[in-house]
Amino acid sequence: MRGIFFSMIIVFLIACLLMFFSIQKSLISFYSSQIAVENRVEAMLSFYNSIVRDSRKSMEIMAGRALCSAVDYVVTTGNPLQSSNDTIAELILNGSISGTPQALMEGSMAKDWEDSIEYLGSLQAFETSVEIKDLLIEPEDSFHISISYSLSVKLYDNRIIEANLSRTTREKVIVSVENLEDPLYPLNTYGRIVNIIKLSPHWLNYSSEDLTNLKDDLNNSYYHPSLYGASFLDRLEGKFFVQGKYSKQNPVGLESFVNKDKLLSAGLSVNVSATNVDYLYFSSSNVPAYLISGMPTNFRLDNETTIEGKTHLQIYNVTVIS
């Protein structure tokens, strides 16, 4: 009896062992498949995040080229844009200006990026649909343009697991306009004068005793933020002043000093008595302009209001020769 009893114990133990291993196997199998699903979903999410992140970088690249194209169009044709923000949006989305393809946008427009992403998605076995739309382009500040856009991403996996991800977000990038040509100069000088937008290294560092910085700004026609001077988008439209559609609470305008000597050497007539502030000079605004102590004799500065509630005479810290 005892033998039978012990034998049954043995059989029971063996059965328990078998059950344990069986359960363990099924648990492992379940866990493995769960990990596989998890990894796949992780991959999908990672791909999605990658797309969103890369859309921002791509938008910066596309926007940079679109701004170049827009400037190129204006300075080459001599015709300002009708609506620069709409034109830049058209350049990014379609690579064209009024339907005419622009060389710089070739292979660098939103559709090209969307196609590449969809191809990469297919390599990872995702049915992918990406779309950039509803671009909103406006000045961010004097030296930057903000581009916000709607990014719609649809990922679908029906080969490995049944899963899909569909999301539309609003993204925004900020693009600098520094190092681009200022269209206002060629438009108002028969294309003879080129000026590159560069923030003055001396901005808000002007001394009434030492005019070195101010002279350096004049010689290089460096740019300063401005309350009323045309923003970069206004300048693409050939406008001298910030238009309502581009104005914001913070100043978005630009101004530089027109170098009258440079104009003269380019064979252009010069209005010596006019202020050197570019948007006022080119617009032929008859604002009073004053001879400034220590500055060249053809340099004039007006006393119009600029940023921080100060006038040009105040912000550049100069003394008028009465």
Partner 1 sequence: MGLKGIAFTIDMLIGLSLAIALIPLLYSRTESTYPEISFQSLSYQANDLLTVLTNLKARSFSEKPTISMLLEEKIISDEDLEKSLLDLIGTFWYSGNKTIASNITKEVLEGLSDKCFSLQTQNETIYSSCGSEGKTMAVAYAIESGYDVGKPVSGYVARAWATKSKKNTTQIIPFYPEGSGWTAQRLEVTKSFALPTDITIYNATLYVSIHFGTSQSQAQFEQLKVNDVQKKNDVNWLYLQEESYGSEITTAAYGVVDVTNEIKPGNNSIYLVIGTPNYHSHLHPGMRLIVTYSLTQEASTGSQSFKKRYYFDNVLGNTGAWSMVSFYIPENAKNASAYLHLKALNVDDTKDLFGRNSSDVIIYFNSDNIFYKDGYCSSSTCYPLCTSSGYYRNCQKVGVMNPELYLNLTNNLTFGTNVVSVYLNCYGDIHWGNKEAIIYSDPLNDPNGSSYVEVSYDLEAPTFNYGEIDLTKEILFGGTASNPKTFQFELKPSQKNIIEAFVHIAQGFSSMVNVSVNNFWIFTSPSLRVVPENVYVYPNKLLLGNNSIKIVDFQPGGSISDTNYILPWSSFEYTYLVKGLVGYGGVFNSSQLAIEDAKQRLLVQLGEEGIIPEEMQVDSQSVQGVRWLWGPALFKILVWERE
Binding footprint of partner 1 on the chain (CB under 8 A): 2-3, 6-7, 9-10, 13-14, 17-18, 21, 24-25, 28-29, 31-32, 35, 39, 42-43, 46-47, 50-51, 53-54, 57-58, 60-62, 64-65, 68-69, 71-73, 75-79, 103-104, 107-108, 112-113, 116-117, 120, 124, 176, 179-181, 186, 190-192, 194, 196, 267
Calpha distance 290→306 (Å, rounded): 16
The CB-of-64 to partner 1 minimum distance in angstroms stands at 6
The CB-of-276 to partner 1 minimum distance in angstroms stands at 22
Whichever of 107 and 288 has its CB closer to partner 1, that residue is 107
CA distances in angstroms from 156 to 39, 41, 47, 166, listed in the order given? 15, 11, 12, 8
For residue 293, the number of C-alpha atoms closer than 13 Å in the C-beta half-sphere is: 11
CA distances in angstroms from 185 to 5, 125, 179, 288, 316, listed in the order given? 106, 52, 14, 22, 22
The CB-of-317 to partner 1 minimum distance in angstroms stands at 27
The CB-of-76 to partner 1 minimum distance in angstroms stands at 4
> Could you tell me which of 166, 162, 171, 278 has the C-alpha nearest to residue 231?
278
Whichever of 165 and 196 has its CB closer to partner 1, that residue is 196
Q: At CA 292, angle to CA 225 and CA 193, rounded to 5?
A: 55
Calpha distance 183→195 (Å, rounded): 8
Whichever of 27 and 136 has its CB closer to partner 1, that residue is 27
Calpha distance 131→154 (Å, rounded): 9
The CB-of-292 to partner 1 minimum distance in angstroms stands at 29
Give φ, ψ of 241 to 5 degrees.
-120, 160
In this structure, are residues 221 and 258 in contact, taking their beta carbons and an 8 Å threshold?
yes
Whichever of 117 and 301 has its CB closer to partner 1, that residue is 117
Whichever of 76 and 311 has its CB closer to partner 1, that residue is 76
Whichever of 173 and 301 has its CB closer to partner 1, that residue is 173
- β-bridge mates for residue 267, sequence order: none
Whichever of 145 and 295 has its CB closer to partner 1, that residue is 145
Calpha distance 271→174 (Å, rounded): 37
The CB-of-309 to partner 1 minimum distance in angstroms stands at 29
Whichever of 75 and 287 has its CB closer to partner 1, that residue is 75
The CB-of-248 to partner 1 minimum distance in angstroms stands at 22
Calpha distance 44→129 (Å, rounded): 13
The CB-of-99 to partner 1 minimum distance in angstroms stands at 17
Calpha distance 11→3 (Å, rounded): 12
